[in-house]
């Protein structure tokens, strides 16, 4: 296990009816900007519930933050922050709204063009307005981490930044607010959380026995309850467990002291930027192929994953690894996800431009060994059709 510092300042306020207590978390007299997406927050009544809980505060609203939040939209919010002298941000939505709000928080106090925050990947960004979250879609884990992924349509770019300045002060996780999610978003959330665990767990043995078991606990719970949520979406205990899984999958805990991969995510971001494929859908389509191409480097952890998660103990190592990858693909399909790129309308003719896009964003030495090159990615992409 490597040395590490684990610090996560986000206060998690979990459970039914907890939106009512957000005024305890926001300084009295604050000028609050409530941010939300395309309309679900309004339609589901969450926005009204938030505004009722903030009775007496000076409130400004900014809606329209799109899935895969764009610089172009968010710059309008930054203007509003300056105009109304906003000093607290409250994101009401899923990963896109939260990420967009993190960008607004840092961009509003950044000297220069806020797009530089992305180009610097957040390096040197240590100031941001305070922000809180009311989570309505458990998936990205953005509600309790220091990252955000921002697109710039004019450049066909989707890049991430990391800065502890954008850790949410608090996050309300009320499972009942996820009941209105379309099934596809329930599936997206389960698969995104599953792949977050993979990116931090399926690397190399590190004698990180507790982190491994935390990670395996999240995987077991997602496998056990993901399909149930599709059948019984208003089962509170199921939705509560899945909501907590998504948060714990990317709050830094299972990453402590171990190397991280993220190559599947980085390729996935290019697919979203180029073709508009939803984030989790890119991961489900790519993962089986990426695991196949990288199986020798991930041999020990793939065998451990296969045994501890799927009970695979028979056969040669090759057979067990192939079975573990097949079970993963099967689980994604049970979650109604497409597990190849052909079903997203792509063909092998798209491979060159995907690799060019990776090179354009300097994504050329990915993975826990920084050895996932565009050539390695090409081999994986060829298996996705």
**Contacting positions for ligand NZQ (CB under 6 A):** 37-41, 44, 67-68, 93-97, 99, 136-137, 139-142, 145, 147-149, 177-178, 180-181, 185, 188, 192, 250, 265, 279
Choice between 192 and 212, CB closer to Zn ion:
192
Instruction: Enumerate the β-bridge partners of residue 11.
Output: 170
Binding at 352: pick from ligand NZQ, Zn ion, none (beta carbon under 5-8 Å per type) = none
Q: How far is the CB of 95 from Zn ion (least distance, A)?
A: 8
Q: Write out the H or E segment, with its range, that includes residue 78.
A: helix 71-83
Closest approach, Cβ 244 to ligand NZQ, in A, equals 15
Nearer to ligand NZQ, 149 or 337 (CB): 149
Give the one entry of ligand NZQ, Zn ion, none that residue 145 binds, where binding means its C-beta sits below a cut-off of 5 to 8 angstroms depending on kind. ligand NZQ
CB of 369 to ligand NZQ, least distance (A): 21
Task: Specify which residues 372 forms β-bridges with.
Answer: 366
CB of 29 to ligand NZQ, least distance (A): 29
Q: Whose Cβ is closer to Zn ion: residue 192's or residue 368's? A: 192
Measure the CA–CA gap between 92 and 34, rounded to whole angstroms: 7
Q: What is the CA 299 to chain-centroid distance, rounded? A: 26
Using CA atoms, how far apart are residues 243 and 241, in angstroms rounded to an integer? Answer: 5
Task: Give whole-number Cα distances, 51 to 13, 45, 54, 64, in Å.
Answer: 18, 10, 5, 17
The kind and range of the H/E element at 308 are: helix 299-310
* C-alpha dihedral sign at 368, 372, 376, 382: positive
348 binds, among Zn ion, ligand NZQ, none (CB under 5 to 8 A by kind): none
Query: Looking at beta carbons only, is 66 or 87 nearer to Zn ion?
Result: 66
- Residue with Cβ nearer ligand NZQ (215 or 303): 215
192 contributes a contact to Zn ion by CB under 5 A: yes
Residue 278, interface with Zn ion (CB under 5 A)? no
Give the one entry of ligand NZQ, Zn ion, none that residue 247 binds, where binding means its C-beta sits below a cut-off of 5 to 8 angstroms depending on kind: none
Q: Whole-number minimum distance, CB 206 to ligand NZQ, in Å? A: 22
CA-to-CA distance for 305 and 289, rounded, in angstroms? Answer: 17
Instruction: Give the Cα separation of 237 and 14 in Å (integer).
Output: 12
Q: Choose between 174 and 192: whose C-beta lies nearer to Zn ion.
A: 192
- Report the sign of the C-alpha dihedral through residues 238, 234, 198, 14, in that order: negative
99 binds Zn ion (CB under 5 A): no
Q: Quote the CA–CA distance of 154 and 53 in Å, as a whole number.
A: 38
Q: Which residues would be at the binding site for Zn ion (CB under 5 A)?
A: 192
């Amino acid at each position: 296990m490597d040395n590490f510092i684990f610090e996560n300042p986000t206060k998690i306020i979990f459970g039914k009816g907890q939106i009512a207590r957000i005024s305890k978390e926001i300084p009295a007299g604050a000028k609050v900007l409530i941010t939300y997406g395309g309309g679900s927050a309004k339609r589901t009544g969450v926005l009204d519930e938030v505004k009722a809980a903030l009775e007496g505060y000076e409130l400004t609203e900014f809606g329209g933050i799109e899935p895969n939040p764009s610089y172009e939209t968010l710059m309008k919010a930054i203007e509003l922050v300056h105009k109304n002298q906003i000093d607290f941000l409250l994101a009401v939505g899923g990963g896109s709204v939260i990420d967009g709000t993190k960008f607004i928080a840092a961009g509003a106090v950044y000297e220069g063009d806020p797009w530089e925050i992305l180009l610097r990947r957040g390096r040197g960004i240590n100031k941001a307005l305070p922000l809180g979250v009311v989570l309505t879609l458990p998936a990205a884990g953005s509600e309790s981490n220091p990252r955000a992924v921002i697109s710039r349509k004019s450049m066909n770019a989707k890049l991430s930044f990391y800065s502890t300045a954008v850790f949410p002060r608090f996050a309300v996780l009320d499972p009942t607010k996820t009941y209105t999610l379309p099934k596809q978003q329930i599936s997206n959330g389960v698969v995104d959380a599953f792949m977050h665990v993979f990116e931090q767990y399926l690397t190399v043995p590190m004698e990180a026995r507790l982190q491994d078991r935390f990670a395996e606990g999240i995987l077991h719970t997602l496998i056990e309850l993901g399909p149930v949520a599709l059948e019984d979406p208003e089962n509170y205990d199921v939705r509560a467990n899945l909501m907590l899984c998504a948060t714990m999958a990317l709050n830094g805990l299972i990453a402590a002291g171990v190397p991280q991969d993220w190559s599947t995510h980085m390729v996935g971001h290019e697919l979203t930027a180029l073709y508009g494929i939803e984030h989790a859908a890119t991961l489900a389509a790519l993962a089986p192929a990426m695991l196949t191409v990288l199986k020798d480097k991930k041999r020990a952890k793939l065998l451990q994953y296969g045994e501890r998660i799927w009970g695979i103990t028979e056969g040669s190592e090759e057979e067990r690894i192939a079975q573990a990858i097949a079970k993963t693909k099967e689980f994604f399909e049970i979650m109604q996800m497409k597990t190849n790129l052909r079903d997203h309308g792509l063909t092998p003719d798209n491979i060159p431009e995907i690799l060019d896009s990776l090179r354009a964003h300097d994504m050329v030495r990915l993975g826990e060994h920084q050895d996932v090159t565009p050539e390695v990615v090409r081999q994986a992409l060829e298996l996705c059709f």
